[in-house]
Amino acid sequence: MTETKNWQAQTRMVHEGQDRSPFGETAEALYLTSGYVYDSAEQAEARFKEEEDGYIYSRFGNPTVRAFEERMMALEGAQDARATATGMAAVTACMMSQLQAGDHIVAARALFGSCRYVVETLMPRFGVACTLVDGRDLDAWKTALRPETKVLFLETPSNPVLEIIDIQAVANIAHNHGARLVVDNVFATPVLQKPMALGADITIYSATKHIDGQGRCLGGIILGDSDYIKNQLANFIRQTGPSLAPFNAWVMLKALETLHLRVERHCDNAEKLTDMLVAHDKIERVYYPGHHSHPQFELAQKQMTRGSNLIAFDVKGGKANAFVLANSLEIAHISNNLGDAKTLITHPATTTHAKLSDAAKAELAIQDGTLRLSVGLEDAADLLDDFERALAKLA
């Protein structure tokens, strides 16, 4: 492990967590091994008794995966972390590792679809109740609390119309009640928003998104204090196996070296595209947390350094025009993924949020003409041209 020095984040993202083998390789080694051998039976015994540090089996820990965890801990300012196979494995493991029958979750209703399934459908099957609230309404969080509430869960900015929730205020509500706040920080990225510095107890990422950043590997990570990670999460992962593959951890480590550069460029492009969309007469409404027209612009400025690369907007003319626009774009591809180098556009009402009732869609401001855009790393002028040309085709 690299010693913790007073380096800036970008420096640490290039060096943190590396533990060189005797070969002295420059890059991080890829330890593609499921098991480990011991020098003696006594050593094996000591490892299992936890009297000696060292690896036992890659479901419990692996040096490449640990390097990724340590680099993420440095970025987040967390005491400890465990990586998982996907972002959803992280969300599920986080909930399952700390809750039991009789407990209660309060969650913001504007959640990534599968996260909403975990808290609204899966956890209640195991006796953990859940109340969904409008996360922007601080009184709604307080009213939903019960004596048995153990976890508050939110995502900000949220999917798909980028609502902003006040992390610090919800953390205070959680702590006054003796509960923990868990934040899914995917949309903001660890570069633009630090939930733990704002009071969150646990931060979760789908590393599949901006952390990989090039749409290659699935991955996830849970970051928190050493007590939670060591005493609750580590054993849950060890016994149930949602562990990250060493190869994917190695890809993520490589990707963290350029995360800051990529996120800044994503934001530059998103700001330019937002300015163009806001001014366009075929667009009804634009949601971008980094633009002053966002209804919670001030709160976004307070807790995020920039607006990230997700933009939602409503085109005039509903679904028909939304489809014409998506089909007419040449650079932007139609895909529900996000945080990729490639610009991706999706129609939430018929894809990511198709399973929601009309009432639930209305609560989330998802209209027939709503599109969600994940702005990529292409040349900004090319992107603007692509959108100008496609928008000109709308009736």
Ligand X SMILES: *Cc1c(COP(=O)(O)O)cnc(C)c1O
Q: Which stretch binds ligand X (CB under 6 A): 84-92, 126-134, 258-266, 373-381?
A: 84-92
181 — alpha (psi -120 to 50), left (phi > 0) or beta? beta
Q: Which contiguous run of DSSP H or E holds residue 10? A: helix 9-15
**Residue 67 in tokens:** 């390097």
**Residue 90 in tokens:** 């992280």
Any idea how long the chain is? 395
Closer CB to ligand X, 149 or 208, in the complex: 208
- Chain positions 109 to 138 lying near ligand X, rule: CB under 6 A, are 112, 114-115
Closest contact distance (angstroms) between CB of 87 and ligand X is 2
Closest contact distance (angstroms) between CB of 146 and ligand X is 25
**Cβ contact 193:318 at 8 Å:** no
How far, in Å, are 83, 159, 234, 353 from residue 288 at the CA level?
Answer: 30, 12, 37, 19
Residue 208 as a binder of ligand X (CB under 6 A): the answer is yes
Closest contact distance (angstroms) between CB of 148 and ligand X is 25
**Residue 199 in tokens:** 């009071």
Taking residues 330 to 369 in sequence order and writing x for each that binds ligand X by CB under 6 A, - otherwise, the string is: ----------------------------------------
**Cβ contact 110:364 at 8 Å:** yes
Taking residues 218 to 257 in sequence order and writing x for each that binds ligand X by CB under 6 A, - otherwise, the string is: x-x-------------------------------------
Closer CB to ligand X, 56 or 218, in the complex: 218
The 10 Å CB-count burial string (b at 16+, else e) for 28-49 is: bbbbeeeebeeeeeeebeebee
Q: Which stretch binds ligand X (CB under 6 A): 201-209, 295-303, 310-318, 384-392?
A: 201-209
* List 28, 155, 271, 386, residue binding ligand X (CB under 6 A): 155
**How much of the chain is in helix, strand and coil states, percent to nearest 5?**
40, 15, 45
Number of residues forming the site for ligand X (CB under 6 A): 16
Closest contact distance (angstroms) between CB of 174 and ligand X is 19
* List 105, 132, 186, 286, residue binding ligand X (CB under 6 A): 186
* List 71, 194, 209, 361, residue binding ligand X (CB under 6 A): 209
Residue 229's CB is within 10 A of a number of other CB atoms, namely 22
* Contacting positions for ligand X (CB under 6 A): 86-88, 112, 114-115, 155, 159, 184, 186-187, 206, 208-209, 218, 220
